[in-house]
Structure 1
Amino acid sequence: MFCCVLFCVVLGVFSEPSVELGLNGKWRLSNSNGSVSVPAPVPGCVHTALMQQQYIQDPYFRFNDLSYRWIAHDNWTYMTSFNVSAQLRVKQKVLLVFDGVDTVATILFNGFMVGRTDNMFRRYDFSVSHLLRDGENVLKVVLVSPVLYAFKQSKAHSSYSVPPECPPDVQKGECHVNFIRKEQSSFSWDWGPSFPTVGLWKGIRLEAFDILQLIQFSSFPLYNHSSGQWRLQVELFIDADQTTSGRVELSLPELGSQETIQTRFTKGRTKYNFTLLINKTREVKLWWPNGHGSQPFYRLTIRGFQDQVLLLHTGSKVFFRTVELIQEQIGSSLGLSFYFRINGKPVFLKGSNWIPADAFQDRVDPSVLRNLLQSAVDANMNALRVWGGGVYEQDLFYDICDEMGLMVWQDFMFACAMYPTEDDFILTVHEEVSQQVRRLKSHPSIIVWSGNNENEAALATNWFDIPASKRPTYVKDYVKLYVNNVREIVLEEDPSRPFLVSSPTNGAESEQEGWVAANPYDPLYGDVHFYSYTSDCWDWKTFPRTRFASEYGFQSWPSFSTLEPVSVEEDW
C-alpha cells in the first residue's frame, strides 16, 4: 500500500541552449481616451501606478474606494518597447510568456494580435518567432474593464440566473464577480472594500529555444508501507519543438539515490513522469509541522541530455512527509472523525484563515509575507487556510510555510456563489486548476485541497432563494464544476494529498449524499464554519463542538495605528 507524501520546490530552471529576455520594469500606462498616461511598473496594477505618480491618493483613505470606482470601469493599455538580440531571434521557437494578467486582455506584438487572456490565475504564452524585428519591438496589452466584462458575461448567460448578482448594498461593491476568473474579493467582501484591480500582476518575458523547454517541474515522494521504501515521483512538463530521443538523470546525492532513464521527447507539450527509488540504507529525515519537529530537506538535481548535449538542468528542494485525512467511525458515536495524520501522527491544527495581504498584490513583498507568517508562528499557529475568495498565493508564501512548518489548507478560488458551467468557462478553469496544482504540489506545507469556499453550504441552505423546482439545475452545475472537473483534475495531477469538494463540508458524508449534504454545518462530520454576531463570542461555550472548525470568530476593529493613516479625526 502506498501512502501519499511530498515534495519539491524549484530553485532554478533552464535549458542550456535557451535564451531569456525579461520584460519587467517601467512600461507606459494609458486609459481608453488617452486622458491619463503615466509610467507604470510591471509587475503592478493601475491603482498603484496612479498612486505612485500622485495621480490619486492612497485608495484606502476614507471613502476613496467609491471615489476611484472609475478606474475599474475604464479600459487600460500597458505598452513597452525593447530590442531583441540576434542570439534570441535565431532560435527555432520564441514564446512571449505572461505569468499573470489581471484579467481580460488582448495582446499585441508589433501591431499583430497574438492572443487573449481571461483568467487572472493562469500562465499564458504566445508564439512570436515570426514577429520579431531587428531593432525596436513594441508590446501592448489592452485590458478591458473587469466590471463591464463581468456584466456582459452575465447578460450573455440568459437561460437562467447564476446568483448572486451583486454583493449586499452595504459593501458598495461591484456585481457579477462569479462571471470573471479573478480575485473574487476584489469586487468587495464583508471584510474589505471594492478594488477590482487591472494590470500585469506577475512577470513577463521572452523565452527562446531550439529543441525543448521546461515549462513546469514538480516532484512528490510516496511511501510504500509494505516494503518500507520511499520513491520520488518527478514530473516534467515540456514543450518540444521537435521529436528527439534522450536521457534524463535524477539524483539525490544526500540519500545516495540516482537514476538514468532513456526517454523520447515528442513534439508539442507533454507531461513526463519519472520515478526515483530512494536508497533503503539511508535514513530519510521527515518534514514536520511547527511544534512537532524540524523541516529538513534534500536537494534534487535533474538533467536532460540529447547524446552529450545538455538540454535542461534544474534543481529543487525535496521534502518527505506523509499526510492522511482520517474520516472513520468513532466507537458508538454518531458521525465520523475528521483529523489529519502527518507522518502517521495525529496532529491538532491551530491557526487562521489567510485572505489577501493587500488589495493590491504588487505591494505584498517578501518582508510583508515573512512578517505575517512569522507572526503566525510566534502566535503558536501551525496551520493557515488560504481562503477561496482571494488568490493562489505567490511561490514565496509557500516556500516560507515549508520553512516554518506552517500547514496549508488550500482552497480553489471559488467563493460564496453559484458559477456558470459553459464550455469556455470550464475550459479556462480546467487550465487554471491544472497549472496551479502542478505549481504547488511540490510543497510539503500544503496538506489538503478544497474545491471552494461555502458553495455547498450556499446551495444546501438556499442562500439565494432558488425555487425548489430549479434546484436540480444548480446541483447539476455544482457537481459538474467541482466534482467532474476540479476534483478529477486534482486526483489525476496529485495522488499525494486529500481533496475536499467544499468547505464547510460533511466530507465523506457529503459524498454519500450526492456531494451536497442536507446540512453541511453538521458538527458530527467534516469541517464547520461558525459565526454568531448576536452571541457572546468571548464565551467559549458559544462555539459548537465540531469535528473540525476551519473558519470561525467575529470581526473587530483593527488597531488604531492601522486606522489613523486612512482616516481623519472626525471619523474617530
Structure 2
Amino acid sequence: MNKFFALFLFPILLIGQNFERSLCNENWKFKQVDKTNWLNATVPGTVHTDLLVNQVIADPFLETNEKEVQWIEKKDWEYKTSFTLSKSEFHFKNIDLQFDGLDTYASVFLNDQLILEANNMFRIWKIPVRKYLLEGENTLKVVFKSAVMEEQNIAKKQSVQLPTDERVYSRKAPYQYGWDWGPRLVTAGIWKDVKLHFWNQVILVNCNYKQVQLDSKKADLEFSVAVFSEKKQVITVKVNDSIKKVELQKGLQTIPIKYKINNPELWWCNGLGEPNLYAFKISLFADLEEIESQEMNIGLRTIELIQEQDAIGRSFYFKLNGKSVFMKGANYIPEDSFLPRVTDSVSQKRIEDAVAANMNMLRVWGGGVYASDTFYNACDKNGILVWQDFMFACAMYPGGKDFLENIKQEVIDNVTRIRNHPSLAIWCGNNEIDEAWHNWGWQKQLKYSKADSTQIWKDYQKVFHELIPNTLDSLYPEKKAIYWPSSPSIGWGRKESLLQGDAHYWGVWWGKEPFEMYERKVGRFMSEYGFQGMPNMTTFNYFTKGKSLEFDSESIKSHQKHPTGYETIKEYMQRDYIIPKTFDDYGYVSQLLQAKGVKTAIEAHRRAKPNCMGTLYWQLNDCWPVTSWSSVDYFGNWKALHYQVKQSFENLLLSVEETKEKYQVYLVNDNWQDVSGNLIVKALDFKGNILYEKSIPTVSNANASQIVYSFAKKDIPKKYRKKSVVQLLFVTKQKKINTIFYWVKPKDLQLQKPTIKITKVDALTYEITSDVVAKDVYLSSDENAHFSNNYFDVLPNEVYTITVNQLVKAISVKSLFDTLN
C-alpha cells in the first residue's frame, strides 16, 4: 500500500462501521493454578465440562460421580488464549473487551496487564482496552479464584452469621450449591460470550421504548436511543423508516425518536390470541454509511397487576390489554448444571413444551440465573408471559455498600437486557426470603440478638424495598415497572396467605397433608406448589449406566436430593395406589401419583376463579437427570404430569369437586366469549355398559367458572362405585371437551384385565382400543419417541387416535392393571 493511499484510508476507518469480533473460537487452554499442565478448553464453558472433555473427571451426572468432583470447587483455575489483531483492527480508535458472563471471582490480564477484577456471575463486564493492545499477537488470561474459598474467607470476617450458608456473600447462581432437586456443582469459567468491540467516534449503547398511546386505531411509540460520542458531531438516527438528524455532544446522551403504527395488532398470550410482533432496526449513520445497528421485536400490549380490596381480602391478578387473564403455567429453573451446554434448541423446546401444555406464564425462579436471550425471544414469539425473579433465594444477604453497588449494577445489566420483551410481565425481588425470615425460625436457630435481627432485616429492606425498586424505576422512564418484593408475600402456614398476594403452598409434600387439602388451601395466585415423580426409565438407565435398578442403589439414592423424597412418595402412594412390586412399575405409578396430585391442585385453583387467578406449579424442567417435581425431565421426556397439565390447562375445562354430600361438575371457561354446547354425563361399568346417561344444553359463561351439574352421593349405589366410571363431555360445534371421573381411589378400583389393541393408520398415526376400561394407558417405544397423548384412560367401545413424532418399529403398552400382579 503506498503512503498516499494509507493516509487516505485512515480517516475513512475512523468514521467507518463499528463491529464485534468473538474471541470464543480462539485456541483456549486452561489449568489448575497450582499445576503446570495446560489442557484444551472451550469458551463459553466451565471448568467441570472442560475437565470432563479432557477425561480428567468422570461425568458428574452418572452414578455417584458427583461426590468425586467436589474438590474442583476449592481450586483456583486459569484460562488463556492468544489472538492476532490485524492492521485494520488495530487502527480503530476505541476497542472494548466485553465478557457477557464471568463465573465468578475473575482477574483478567491482557498482555500481562491486570485490566479487570470481576465478582458477579450475572453482570456484563466491558473494559476499554485499546491502550493495552498490540498490532499482531496479544495474550488474554483469566484467573478464577475458588468462589467457595472466597465466600468462606468473607464469612470469617463477619460478626454475625447470615442464613443459610456462605453462598450469600457471592453474586452467583444459588442452585449450584445444591438444592432438593439439584446437585452441588459449584462452577467457574467464562460461561458466556467474550468479544472485542471496535468503534471510532460513536457507539450505540442501548435502546429502550415506551408506548405513549395504544388503541385500536394507532400506537404511538417513542424510542430512547442511548449513544456515546467521542466528540461533538452530527449523525443520523434511524428507527425503521423514521429518521432523525441530531447533533451529538461529547459523552453519553439519549435521543428520542417517535414512531407511529396504524391499526396496530396487539400481543396476546398463548390461548387468547396471537403474539403479534413488530420488527425494528435501530441504526446510526454518518453521512450515508451505517455505523452500528441493533434489532428488536416489539409486542404492543398493556400489562397490569390488579390488587384491590374485595369480599375475601385483596385481589392479585393480571390484566393483559385491559382483560383479566387466569395465568396457567409453571416455575422454570436452569436447564443444566453446566449452563454453557444449553443450546438454543433446548431452550426453544422447553417453551414449545409449555405452549403444547396450554401454558401462558412461566416463572423464572430466583435461585437460578437470569434466562438467556433465546428463552425470552421464544416466550415473545409463543405468547408465554414471564414472571421474572431477581436472583436471590431462601437466604438473607449482606447490606454493605460494595455489595449493594454490585447488586445495583447487576440489576442495571439484566433489566436493560430484558426490559423490551413483551413477554415480561412482572419483576419479583426474591424467592421465599420474606416468608423464611418470618416463618422458618432462623432467628432462634442462630441465636440472634434483637440488634442482630434488626440489622439483618434492615439490610433486607435496603435491597428489596429500596435499591431494586428504585433502580427499576430509573430504567423505566415515565412508566412504572410491576415490582413485587418477595414471592410468596406471606408464608403457607398463615391464613392471610390465602387472602392476598401470591402463595406458595407446601402443606402437600412438605407437610404430608393429603391431596384433598389442595381443594381447601386455594389462594389468590398460587405461584408455587407441587409433588415429585420419578423420571422415565430411559433416564434412570442413563445415569445408572444400565445397572440393576433398586432403591438401595447408591446411584439411585444420589439422584434424589430431597432428604425424605422416596419415603414421601411411598407414603402418598400407599394412600391412593397399590404399591407395585417392580422398580419399572413403581416409577410409572409414581408419575401417575404426581399427575393426580397436581391435577387436584390446578383444577381446584381454576374452579375458584375469579377469587384465584393464577396457578404456577413447581416445576417445569430439570437441570440434570433426577427424581424431582418436574413435569419434563432433563432429556425432555414428558412425565404423566405434563400430559395431565395439557388437559387441565385447556381453555375449556370440565372438573369435578367432591363435597360432603355431592359431586359438583364445573365448567371453567378462560375464553372471553360464552360457549354453547351440550353437557353429556355418562356412567359406565368397566365393560362399557351404560348405567346412566344425560344430555343437557349448557352455556359456559365467558371468563368464568360455574357449576353445571351435580350428583348426590346418596344416589350412587355403593356396589357401582368400585367398578364404574363417569365420562363427562362438553360438545360444541368446534370441539369436544372430555374428562373421566372415578368415585373411589385407584387402589379401590376393581379393574379388569384389558385387551388393548394398537392399530397403525399411517406412518405416524395409531388408533388405540380396549375391550374394558384400561386405566392410565402408557405407550413407549425403543426409539424413545414422543406420543401426542399418553397415560390416558381408554374406555371400551371408543377409538383413541394418537400420533408419534418419529417412525417406530413397535409400540409397547401397559396400564394400571398390569402393576397389580
Out of 172, 190, 196, the residue aligned to residue 206 of structure 1 is 196
What is the Cα deviation at residue 518 of structure 1? 12
Does structure 2 retain, via aligned residues, the 8 Å contact 1:76–1:144?
yes
What amino acid is aligned across from residue 505 of structure 1 in structure 2? S
Distance 1:469 1:132 in 2: 52
Tell me the percent identity: 33
Per-residue CA deviation, residues 367-402 of structure 1 (Å, 9 max, x unaligned), is 211222111111111111000000001100000011
Out of 394, 413, 418, the residue aligned to residue 435 of structure 1 is 413
Does structure 1 retain, via aligned residues, the 8 Å contact 2:29–2:38?
yes
What amino acid is aligned across from residue 422 of structure 2 in structure 1? P
Distance 2:164 2:43 in 1: 34
What is the Cα deviation at residue 543 of structure 1? 5.4
What is the Cα deviation at residue 221 of structure 1? 2.7
Distance 1:448 1:557 in 2: 32
Out of 504, 517, 522, the residue aligned to residue 497 of structure 2 is 522
What is the Cα deviation at residue 334 of structure 1? 3.6
What is the Cα deviation at residue 362 of structure 1? 1.1
What is the Cα deviation at residue 62 of structure 1? 2.4
Which has the greater radius of gyration? 2
Aligned partner of 2:601 in structure 1 is: none
Aligned partner of 2:525 in structure 1 is: 548
What is the Cα deviation at residue 228 of structure 1? 7.3
Distance 2:213 2:515 in 1: 44
Out of 557, 560, 563, the residue aligned to residue 534 of structure 2 is 557
List gaps (5 residues or longer) in structure 1: 1-14, 166-175, 507-515
Q: Using a 3 Å threshold, how does the CA distance of structure 1 residues 229 and 460 change in structure 2: closer, same or farther? A: farther
The alignment status of 1:343 with 2:325, answered yes or no, reads: no
Out of 311, 328, 332, the residue aligned to residue 291 of structure 2 is 311
Distance 1:218 1:537 in 2: 49
Which deviates the most, 230-239 or 107-116?
Answer: 230-239
Does structure 2 retain, via aligned residues, the 8 Å contact 1:218–1:439?
no
What is the Cα deviation at residue 472 of structure 1? 1.9
Aligned partner of 1:160 in structure 2 is: 160
Per-residue CA deviation, residues 455-506 of structure 1 (Å, 9 max, x unaligned), is 1111222541244453221221111111211111112212364111111116
What is the Cα deviation at residue 565 of structure 1? 1.4
What is the Cα deviation at residue 93 of structure 1? 1.1
What is the Cα deviation at residue 154 of structure 1? 1.8
Q: What does 1:74-85 correspond to in 2, within 5 Å?
A: 74-85=75-86
Distance 1:355 1:543 in 2: 28
RCO comparison, higher one (Cα < 8 Å, 6+)? 1
Per-residue CA deviation, residues 36-93 of structure 1 (Å, 9 max, x unaligned), is 5310110111111111122211111122222101111110011001100111111111
What is the Cα deviation at residue 35 of structure 1? 5.2
Distance 2:298 2:287 in 1: 28
What amino acid is aligned across from residue 344 of structure 1 in structure 2? G
Q: Using a 3 Å threshold, how does the CA distance of structure 1 residues 305 and 519 change in structure 2: closer, same or farther? A: farther
Q: What does 1:390-429 correspond to in 2, within 5 Å?
A: 390-429=368-407
Q: Secondary structure at the match of 1:285?
A: coil
Does structure 2 retain, via aligned residues, the 8 Å contact 1:505–1:521?
no
Which deviates the most, 377-386 or 467-476?
Answer: 467-476
Aligned partner of 1:106 in structure 2 is: 107
Q: Secondary structure at the match of 1:492?
A: helix
Distance 1:544 1:500 in 2: 22
What is the Cα deviation at residue 207 of structure 1? 1.1
What amino acid is aligned across from residue 439 of structure 2 in structure 1? T
Q: Using a 3 Å threshold, how does the CA distance of structure 1 residues 543 and 61 change in structure 2: closer, same or farther? A: farther
Distance 1:49 1:521 in 2: 49
What is the Cα deviation at residue 151 of structure 1? 1.1
Aligned partner of 1:474 in structure 2 is: 456
Does structure 1 retain, via aligned residues, the 8 Å contact 2:277–2:381?
no
Out of 463, 473, 484, the residue aligned to residue 500 of structure 1 is 484
Per-residue CA deviation, residues 254-311 of structure 1 (Å, 9 max, x unaligned), is xxxx3525342432xx3515242425xx200011000000011122232323455543
Q: Secondary structure at the match of 1:289?
A: coil
Q: Using a 3 Å threshold, how does the CA distance of structure 1 residues 342 and 51 change in structure 2: closer, same or farther? A: same
Aligned partner of 1:141 in structure 2 is: 142
Aligned partner of 1:513 in structure 2 is: none
What amino acid is aligned across from residue 119 of structure 1 in structure 2? N
Distance 1:372 1:303 in 2: 33
Q: What does 1:88-103 correspond to in 2, within 5 Å?
A: 88-103=89-104
Distance 1:407 1:557 in 2: 28
Which deviates the most, 483-492 or 453-462?
Answer: 453-462
Aligned partner of 2:186 in structure 1 is: 196
Q: Using a 3 Å threshold, how does the CA distance of structure 1 residues 143 and 357 change in structure 2: closer, same or farther? A: same
What amino acid is aligned across from residue 281 of structure 2 in structure 1? T
The alignment status of 1:294 with 2:269, answered yes or no, reads: no
What is the Cα deviation at residue 155 of structure 1? 2.1
Out of 344, 369, 379, the residue aligned to residue 366 of structure 1 is 344
Aligned partner of 2:47 in structure 1 is: 46
What amino acid is aligned across from residue 522 of structure 1 in structure 2? S
Out of 225, 248, 251, the residue aligned to residue 264 of structure 1 is 248
What amino acid is aligned across from residue 197 of structure 1 in structure 2? T
Q: Which runs of 4+ in 1 moved over 6 A?
A: none
The alignment status of 1:231 with 2:220, answered yes or no, reads: yes
What amino acid is aligned across from residue 488 of structure 1 in structure 2? N
Q: Using a 3 Å threshold, how does the CA distance of structure 1 residues 523 and 102 change in structure 2: closer, same or farther? A: same
Does structure 1 retain, via aligned residues, the 8 Å contact 2:387–2:424?
yes
TM-score by length of 2: 0.61
Per-residue CA deviation, residues 101-145 of structure 1 (Å, 9 max, x unaligned), is 111110001111111110111110112211212322110000001
Q: Using a 3 Å threshold, how does the CA distance of structure 1 residues 379 and 536 change in structure 2: closer, same or farther? A: farther
What amino acid is aligned across from residue 21 of structure 1 in structure 2? R
Distance 1:385 1:341 in 2: 17
Distance 1:223 1:55 in 2: 59
Does structure 2 retain, via aligned residues, the 8 Å contact 1:92–1:241?
no
Out of 322, 336, 342, the residue aligned to residue 302 of structure 2 is 322
What is the Cα deviation at residue 542 of structure 1? 5.2
Distance 2:495 2:480 in 1: 26
Aligned partner of 1:172 in structure 2 is: none
Distance 1:241 1:65 in 2: 51
Distance 1:563 1:273 in 2: 56
Distance 2:86 2:329 in 1: 50
What is the Cα deviation at residue 535 of structure 1? 3.2
Q: What does 1:270-281 correspond to in 2, within 5 Å?
A: 270=252, 272-279=254-261
Aligned partner of 2:652 in structure 1 is: none
Q: Using a 3 Å threshold, how does the CA distance of structure 1 residues 390 and 30 change in structure 2: closer, same or farther? A: same
Out of 371, 378, 388, the residue aligned to residue 366 of structure 2 is 388
What amino acid is aligned across from residue 427 of structure 2 in structure 1? W
Q: Using a 3 Å threshold, how does the CA distance of structure 1 residues 446 and 543 change in structure 2: closer, same or farther? A: farther
Distance 1:378 1:297 in 2: 20
List gaps (5 residues or longer) in structure 2: 1-14, 557-821
What is the Cα deviation at residue 224 of structure 1? 5.7
What amino acid is aligned across from residue 96 of structure 2 in structure 1? L
Per-residue CA deviation, residues 197-240 of structure 1 (Å, 9 max, x unaligned), is 10001111111211122233333434367x97533232334343
What amino acid is aligned across from residue 316 of structure 2 in structure 1? F
Q: Using a 3 Å threshold, how does the CA distance of structure 1 residues 238 and 159 change in structure 2: closer, same or farther? A: farther
Q: Secondary structure at the match of 1:438?
A: helix
Q: Using a 3 Å threshold, how does the CA distance of structure 1 residues 426 and 24 change in structure 2: closer, same or farther? A: same
